[in-house]
Structure 1
Amino acid sequence: MAAIKADPAGAVIGLDFDGTLAPIVPDPADARVDPHAASALVRLGGLVGAVVLVTGRPAATAIAYGAVPGGPGLADVPGLVVLGQYGLERWEAGQVTSPPPPPGVDRVRAELPGLLAALGLTLTGGEEPGVTIEDKGRALAVHTRRAADPEAALRALREPLAKLAAESGMQVEPGRLVLELRPAGMDKGHALSAFLAERGARSVLFAGDDLGDLAAFEAVRLSGLPGVTVCSASLEVAALAQRADLIVDGPAGVAALLSALAGALSGP
């Protein structure tokens, strides 16, 4: 933190989206950025070298869910870059660049409903109990938060989804009551490391909340830069808190930290 304050122009501020900037909600389509976090990032974007979001969401979705009615949103953060789909997509200055979807995604999309039915899991898209499929274009996530027994549904899904992923050339990314099937070969650590090198970073902060953020934490450690890792704490994930330098109370705590950092960098 001292290095960031001493040389803001060399600092990269990296963040996850869900559970870090936006509270976790039963339906992932209802997630929205904490307005206080968005306001703090707008301030920070003009003070540091770069602000980058590294998320499993499609990059354009993170921007859309980062809108704040009547106030500044993520699209207003100066120089913001969003590395979506674990780094496979990039949003910058209103433009998205990305490779074509991997062929295995079509097979996963076609077979998931039947797999869920065979396991006796009800597929739901509304308020009724069941599991939900989130189609991200290049990945598909199965959420069990709405199931009658979320943990039991997650346990039942682990082995069949791992088998389907292996057969489709994909990999499984576990999260908070969610299992995501996504392309292999890219994770938040690779994405963050490449961005730090691209920007010639001299210090780095990364904040996350879930198991997928462990790779980014490791990238901070391996970068050799002065760095700080921040856990947006929850009762569902303890592993991240054990590896973090700072622990804050969910997205509201992240927003408070970002605001305090912006205040420190802007001076009296």
Structure 2
Amino acid sequence: MTLPSPRTTAGAAALARIVAAPSSAVLAFDFDGTLAPVVPDPRDARAHPRAAPLLRALSPLVRSIAVVTGRPAERAVEYGGLDSVPGIVVLGQYGRERWEGGVLSAPDPSPGVQQARDALPELLKDLEAPEGIWVEDKGQALAVHTRRTADPEAALDLVGTPLAELASETGLLVEPGRLVIELRPGGADKGVALAGFVAEQGAESVLYTGDDLGDVAAFDAVERLRLGTVAGITVCSGSAEVRGLAERADLVVDGPDGVVELLAELAAALDGGRPG
């Protein structure tokens, strides 16, 4: 197996440092669209079958492995089989939650989330929202999905402005995604979560892989880190639905299949690596 060639000098330098000194590297990943294929109902999402075995192979070789996701941390652990990966840390709800070693740390839910939860049913009824719109209650946030409607893009346009107004009224932020709009508290994003984790680990290099608009903040964090002493590479799990992130990435792979191939190639490149 041969590692792919990043298209940027900074990305190539970071990948080379990870291979040369893996014990000082953090490998971090989004979940949906990255480790797991996107599916019509997010409750049906499961990690690629090769993801957890490959993360297990990499875990003893690097400083740390993290999953940074908008999902509740425990749900990502369950859907990804991540509790089988020694030492993995899952930063859920954009970093508001932390799962490590079977223990979950999370703040109390924002009062604005409860206000939005109470208002959403009437809002969707007044909009005459089409059949198939589904509200995912994440506890710390609420996500309105349109993927299962007859015309997902039209449904997304229908609810976009009213959801933005509701967010403003309840003190929440709007987080757009792949045929989903999420209402969540401020004060946390994937960039803050990733940068904090890299600093905590004392890492000298970081690889971050994502697929959607919520990962832009993490890409920004990698770019800021490499202005200092941390080498960083951004990887996009590419798809036909989301193209903007690919334009920012140092390396683009073909969806979750491409992500696991990259993990296998990285495991093979590191001393003692055993690709799955």
Q: Distance in 2 between matches of 1:116 and 1:61?
A: 26
Amino acid at match of 2:184: R
Amino acid at match of 2:242: V
Q: Distance in 2 between matches of 1:113 and 1:18?
A: 26
Structure 2 gaps of 5+ residues are 1-14
Identity across the alignment (%):
60
Matched, 1:23 2:23: no
Residue 38 of structure 1 deviates from its aligned partner by 1.4
Aligned with 1:192 (options 186, 191, 194) = 194
Query: 2:237 maps to what in 1?
Result: 232
| SS in structure 2 of the partner of residue 266 of structure 1 | coil
Residue 265 of structure 1 deviates from its aligned partner by 0.6
Matched, 1:115 2:123: yes
Query: 1:125 maps to what in 2?
Result: none
Query: 1:99 maps to what in 2?
Result: 107
Query: 1:78 maps to what in 2?
Result: 86
Residue 35 of structure 1 deviates from its aligned partner by 1.2
Q: Distance in 2 between matches of 1:82 and 1:97?
A: 10
Amino acid at match of 1:26: P
Query: 2:261 maps to what in 1?
Result: 256
Query: 2:270 maps to what in 1?
Result: 265
Q: Structure 1 residues 114, 97: closer, same or farther in 2, change over 3 A? A: same
Residue 267 of structure 1 deviates from its aligned partner by 4.9
Amino acid at match of 1:12: V
Q: Which runs of 4+ in 1 moved over 6 A?
A: none
For the Cα contact (< 8 Å) 1:37–1:259, is it kept in 2?
Answer: no
Query: 1:90 maps to what in 2?
Result: 98
Amino acid at match of 1:89: E
Residue 148 of structure 1 deviates from its aligned partner by 1.2
Query: 1:247 maps to what in 2?
Result: 252
Cα deviation digits, residues 28-73 of structure 1 (max 9, x gap): 0000000111111111111100000000000000001012xxxxxx
Query: 2:11 maps to what in 1?
Result: none
* TM-score normalised to structure 2 length: 0.91
Cα deviation digits, residues 177-223 of structure 1 (max 9, x gap): 00000001110000001001100110000000000001001100101
Correspondences of 1:37-48 after superposition (within 5 Å): 37-48=51-62
Correspondences of 1:45-56 after superposition (within 5 Å): 45-56=59-70
Residue 266 of structure 1 deviates from its aligned partner by 2.8
Aligned length: 256
Amino acid at match of 1:219: A
Amino acid at match of 1:111: A
Correspondences of 1:164-175 after superposition (within 5 Å): 164-175=166-177
| SS in structure 2 of the partner of residue 46 of structure 1 | helix
* TM-score normalised to structure 1 length: 0.94
Cα deviation digits, residues 208-253 of structure 1 (max 9, x gap): 0000001001100101221111100111111100000111110011
Matched, 1:63 2:77: yes
Q: Distance in 2 between matches of 1:52 and 1:175?
A: 21
Q: Distance in 1 between matches of 2:201 and 2:207?
A: 14
Q: Distance in 1 between matches of 2:56 and 2:257?
A: 16
More displaced, 223-232 or 16-25?
A: 223-232
More displaced, 35-44 or 189-198?
A: 35-44
For the Cα contact (< 8 Å) 1:37–1:252, is it kept in 2?
Answer: no
Comparing both chains, which one has the higher relative contact order based on Cα–Cα distances under 8 Å and sequence gaps of 6 or more? 2
Amino acid at match of 2:265: A
Structure 1 gaps of 5+ residues are 68-73, 123-128
For the Cα contact (< 8 Å) 1:230–1:245, is it kept in 2?
Answer: yes
Cα deviation digits, residues 78-104 of structure 1 (max 9, x gap): 210000000000000000001100000
